[in-house]
Structure 1
Amino acid sequence: MDYIQAIIIAIVEGLTEYLPISSTAHMGFTAALMGMEETEYLKMFQVSIQFGAILAVVVLYWKKFFDINNIQLYYKLAIAVIPALILGKLFDEKIEAVLGNQIAISTVLVLGGVVLLFVDKWFKNPKITDEKDISIKKALTIGFWQCLAMMPGTSRSAASIIGGLTQGLNRKAAAEFSFFLAVPTMLAVTVYSIFVKTWGEGTDHAQKGYEMIMASEQSIIAFILGNVIAFIVAMIAVKTFISVLTKYGFRFWGWYRIIIGIGLLIFFWQQ
């Protein structure tokens, strides 16, 4: 992976991580369109640069994250992330197996888009407008909804936001809680992928993520560069998304997923 490729993938990650359009799908498609080989390092890189996107949310919402008078937020996030931690570990190998199947991911992208076309009609009377009014039970339910995103192409953001809407949150509150929940979820995934998971297990080139990162100066710089770019772009994307979502709802994102998904299905079907 050269630096230009790392920068492009990081831009895609930053733009799409918090939008309901699947960052995993878009990074996979981008790598494929650039003709990159689907190596273990590429898979690990796509997961590890989520750390930059995590920091973007922490910085943007630092008053809420570091408010000692809002200790309940930590309880809610700790409870909500449990389903993803357990199910993510159980289905890790199956999830990784799907990552290279662009046809399957494109199909999920389209189907998810169809769902988003109707979300605004399904949830018209929200009752919760602030994170402080979310109960522990509701937070856990949103956590289970987030697990739907284990199927690449679904979108963690879309799954958790829709989960929030089912619990009576309005668009803004659902989106913000989805952002907050992303922090422990993606932090756990990033730590696991870098320090715990053995990539290429069972082969002669099995390595931990940090070993791949430290293998060369280029890998180290690409890793740092990817996280910095993802951080900067995610800062912009989060602010823009909240504004667009509050004003226009999900229909735009639904059509986007359908159009892009169909286009990619045609592209990959011809390969």
Structure 2
Amino acid sequence: MPVLWLVIILGIVEGLTEYLPVSSTGHLILATELLGFRAEDWEAFNVAIQPGAIFAIVVLYWRTFWDVFTGLFRKDAGAWRFVRNLVVACVPAVVLALLFGDHIEKLLGNAVVVCWALIIGGAVILILEKVVRPKECNGVQNLSLRQSALIGAVQCLAMVPGVSRSGATILGAMALGVDRKTAAEFSFFLAMPTLSGATAYYLFKHHDRIAPDMVGNILIGSLVSFVVAIVVVKLFVGFVTRYGFAPFAWYRIVAGGAALAWLTLR
């Protein structure tokens, strides 16, 4: 397969899965392996194209961010709570990344870990969908400090590839009584500082892995992920509000099981 096709496919996978509770990192690892390439060789590329998906949230929610920005100058309490909640939720991931970053990176090319994380995560989603009864929160700014801190702690589970950052934050929020729409949007907003920081840290630490001839491919992959992520995010909130997360749980279980079987038999 030509490298350009792999670049486009990985861009599509990143845009499709970054904000769904199915693990973008896990899917990128499995997609690379399934297409006949070594996941370790494409690890830096997969991290470098994340800004495309991040920018999709900026475009889609620009009015929300503008209202928060101007609200800070107006000393609006809701705007300050919005920022406070995002900052507090980011702290656990920053601390763990600094303490255990090297150990976490060793898992990024492990497709078997991804498979088991997909299966177990799918089962957890099904259980939570049955037992949790979330209440309407009507916006990220209405989350409590405790809820934000706990959601940020749960997000750290996504450092294991295959767990899903969006899935961990959304389901962590729901377990704390947050409604699906607010949980999904908090996951989107939290992705911006979390993924931006993680991407910047990784590329600073491993800048030697980005060869000059990779820059063009990274730009193409980022553009593809940006376009696909815009479409996915637009549809996602309405879908989960109506149908819940069970469809994603069954997908995780089937995909993880099929990939595990393929890896075992190949």
- The question of a shared fold, defined as TM-score above 0.5 by the shorter chain, is answered with yes
The residue that corresponds to 1:51 in the other structure is 51
Query: For the residues of structure 2 that align with 1:264 and 1:154, how far apart are their CA atoms?
Result: 15
How far residue 87 of structure 1 moved from its aligned partner, in angstroms, is: 0.4
The amino acid of 2:8's aligned partner reads I
More helix by share: 2
Residues 1:181 and 2:176 aligned together: no
Classify the secondary structure of the residue corresponding to 1:124: coil
Classify the secondary structure of the residue corresponding to 2:148: helix
Query: For the residues of structure 1 that align with 2:124 and 2:203, how far apart are their CA atoms?
Result: 34
Cα contact 1:81–1:143 (8 A) shared by 2: yes
Structure 2 runs not aligned, ≥5 long = 72-78
Worse-matched range after superposition: 85-94 or 104-113 = 85-94
Classify the secondary structure of the residue corresponding to 1:71: helix
For residues 46-99 of structure 1, what are the alpha-carbon distances to aligned partners after superposition, in whole Å with 9 as ceiling and x for unaligned?
A: 112111111111111111112221233222211110110110222222222122
Cα contact 1:19–1:158 (8 A) shared by 2: yes
The residue that corresponds to 1:204 in the other structure is none
Classify the secondary structure of the residue corresponding to 2:254: helix
Classify the secondary structure of the residue corresponding to 2:133: coil
Query: For the residues of structure 1 that align with 2:64 and 2:131, how far apart are their CA atoms?
Result: 29
Cα contact 1:129–1:169 (8 A) shared by 2: no
Aligned-pair identity in percent equals 41
Residues 1:158 and 2:167 aligned together: yes
TM-score normalised to structure 2 length: 0.92
Distance 1:212 1:96, change over 3 A: closer
Query: For the residues of structure 2 that align with 1:260 and 1:39, how far apart are their CA atoms?
Result: 21
Query: For the residues of structure 1 that align with 2:131 and 2:97, how far apart are their CA atoms?
Result: 29
Query: What's the RMSD between the two structures over aligned residues?
Result: 1.5
The residue that corresponds to 2:215 in the other structure is 220
Q: Equivalent of 1:143, from 142, 152, 176? A: 152
For residues 161-182 of structure 1, what are the alpha-carbon distances to aligned partners after superposition, in whole Å with 9 as ceiling and x for unaligned?
A: 0111122210000000011001
The residue that corresponds to 2:248 in the other structure is 253
Cα contact 1:148–1:154 (8 A) shared by 2: yes
Q: Equivalent of 2:121, from 101, 104, 112? A: 112
The residue that corresponds to 1:71 in the other structure is 80
For residues 105-133 of structure 1, what are the alpha-carbon distances to aligned partners after superposition, in whole Å with 9 as ceiling and x for unaligned?
A: 10111011111112222222414132221
Query: For the residues of structure 2 that align with 1:129 and 1:72, how far apart are their CA atoms?
Result: 13
Classify the secondary structure of the residue corresponding to 1:132: helix
Query: For the residues of structure 2 that align with 1:193 and 1:170, how far apart are their CA atoms?
Result: 33
For residues 143-166 of structure 1, what are the alpha-carbon distances to aligned partners after superposition, in whole Å with 9 as ceiling and x for unaligned?
A: 001001111110001100011112
Classify the secondary structure of the residue corresponding to 2:36: coil
